[in-house]
Amino acid sequence: MAVAAATADVVEELTRVYRELPPRPAVEEVEAAAAVLASADAEEEARLADVAREEAARLREAEGVPGELLAVLREARRAAVRLRALQQRKEAAHVVELERRFKVLDGLIQRASRVVSPSGEGSRSGGGGVEMAEVVEEMDARRSDVAAAAAVGEIERGNRGVGFGLDTKAVSSLLRNGSTGSDMVDQKLSLIQVASLIESSAKRGTTELNLRGKLVDQIEWLPVSLGKLQDVTELDISENRIMALPSTVGSLRYLTKLDIHSNQLINLPDTFGELSSLIDLDLHANQLKSLPASFGNLTSLANLDLSSNQFKILPDCIGKLMNLRRLIAETNELEELPYTIGSCISLVELRLDFNQLKALPEGIGKLEKLEILTLHYNRIKGLPTTIGSLTRLRELDVSFNEVEGIPESICFATSLVKLNVSRNFADLRALPRSIGNLEMLEELDISSNQIRMLPDSFEFLAKLRVFHADETPLEVPPREVIKLGALAVVQYVADMVASRGASQKKTDGTSFWAWFRSLFGCCKKDEELGLVPA
């Protein structure tokens, strides 16, 4: 009897110890932690390889710099990479270690259960056996996938958060299926929370995931488990500080919309070209200098924003994007466009403002569907003659350039509604003589140029409603007329042309009769002199 009581006391103590343990990580959390550790290892190796490449380049260029100093810099940079990787591993390593310790305790509890109830029937072995069986059942429930699924269900019902204190409202909006995300709370997610969220999203078959501005500032990359989001069609990870995407991003074959704007991306993985369903891609406000060769495989792409990066050239493979309708490449360092841009035959809008372009390729004339072309603030000296082939062009802006002349062929672009050639300063001295062919033109800006006279065909711009000529030394029409507005300018030119025509007609008539009289007079004089018969 005493032995049974002592056994029961030991079992009770074991039960109390187990039940006083902190919550065990959910299955998704453990998987997420493993993914984070794998990603951290891969990221550390990649960063160390980058350091090695940069140091090799520095050695070739840094003549006269003491070798010892360069060695110190190299080691300092390597140590910094390892330190950041250690920081990224910290939380994930804690979860993995917790799970390892729990597994040790699982084994001990199982051993105790076999001792107390060798036959597996706790009800026949006294109270200790019953309590031990309950602990074993609780242990199994804590680590089962059923328990993890129940936890996700509780998240959706709002009863509790998803591991590590993830707010329920945040979860409902992050793991949304067509919701606007308007209920998202202001909460920053750690790397382990992001990885856990990815695991949960993958299991739930989430189609939309919104992480805009939701990651803590220390997160510079996403875990490799991102590739598990096989069902996601829309992914927003914008407004964070991400420097690299995992190569597994290429596994998101159903992704149609990807927003990564306002991060710190330096490059894209080669697997990026495997996103064959991608339609909308926003990469603006990063630190990209190039695109992978596989980028040309994104043949479904319709909208691409590359603005506010560090591109000096765009790759030739851009020409393979035959379904591309909108290309925004403003605020880069572009010095030229590839000729293959002409192969983007679906292009409707092309914005290239604030670059270093000196010219456009002749291939631009192949973009027969182009409606908007903006080249504000570049170094362009002239437009290609093929500009006249853009018969659907509605808006053209070449302001703040070095344009010396506008080709007459532009007058074949008869759909033009807005034309801005302002602020080419001392370079632009005349408008095309046939500008009147642009009968759809409603807005024209020629400010800050050296144009002194409008061409006669200006009289045919009957739809012109806005005309700016500030700081342009126009003599015809005079400044007083320009102040009266666009229609007054058109009318003045029309009246001037009509008046000149009437005057010319009168002059021509007078000249004819003078010629006739002089001819008759000469003949009469010759007759009197006997040079011709009477």
Does CATH number 3.30.420.480 belong to domain 396-507?
Answer: no
DSSP H/E element including 280: strand 280-282
**Beta carbons of 167 and 185 less than 8 angstroms apart:** yes
Q: What is the pLDDT of residue 534?
A: 45
70 vs 77: CA distance, rounded Å: 11
Return the CA Rg of the chain: 38
Q: What is the pLDDT of residue 104?
A: 78
Task: Give 277-314 pLDDT, tens digit per residue.
Answer: 999 999 999 999 999 999 999 999 999 999 999 999 99
Measured in whole angstroms, the distance separating CA 59 from the mean position of its chain's CA atoms is 35
Helix-strand-coil split of the chain, %, nearest 5: 50, 10, 45
The DSSP bridge pattern shows strands 418-420 and 395-397 to be parallel
DSSP H/E element including 38: helix 27-61
112 vs 516: CA distance, rounded Å: 135
**Residue-level pLDDT, tens digit, the chain, 534 residues:** 677 777 777 777 777 777 777 787 877 777 777 777 776 776 667 767 777 777 777 776 767 778 777 777 777 877 876 777 676 677 777 777 777 787 777 777 777 777 777 654 544 444 555 555 665 565 555 544 434 443 343 333 333 333 444 444 444 445 543 333 334 445 788 888 888 899 889 989 999 999 999 998 888 889 888 999 999 999 999 999 999 999 999 999 999 999 999 999 999 999 999 999 999 999 999 999 999 999 999 999 999 999 999 999 999 999 999 999 999 999 999 999 999 999 999 999 999 999 999 999 999 999 999 999 999 999 999 999 999 999 999 999 999 999 999 999 999 999 999 999 999 987 799 999 999 999 999 999 999 999 999 999 999 999 999 999 999 999 999 999 999 999 999 999 999 999 887 666 555 555 555 555 565 555 455 555 554 454
Using DSSP, state whether 74 is helix, strand or coil.
Answer: helix
For 514, the token pair is 């003078």
- pTM for the full predicted model: 0.72
441 vs 270: CA distance, rounded Å: 45
Give the closest residue to 136 by CA, choosing from 158, 114, 163.
Answer: 114
240 vs 213: CA distance, rounded Å: 5
> How crowded is residue 360: how many other Cβ atoms within 10 Å of its Cβ?
23
505 vs 527: CA distance, rounded Å: 33
In the block, tokens 């192969």 appear at 343
Does CATH number 3.80.10.10 belong to domain 209-379?
Answer: yes
455 vs 436: CA distance, rounded Å: 8
Domain ranges of the chain: 1-57+75-106+192-204, 209-379, 396-507
In the block, tokens 């008539």 appear at 509
The DSSP bridge pattern shows strands 175-176 and 208-210 to be antiparallel
**Are 209-379 and 396-507 in the same CATH fold?**
yes
CA distances from 140 to 24, 29, 137, 227, 472 (A): 11, 17, 5, 30, 84
For 534, the token pair is 């009477």
CB neighbour burial string for 429-441, b if at least 16 within 10 angstroms, e if fewer: ebbbebbbbbebb
Q: What is the pLDDT of residue 437?
A: 96
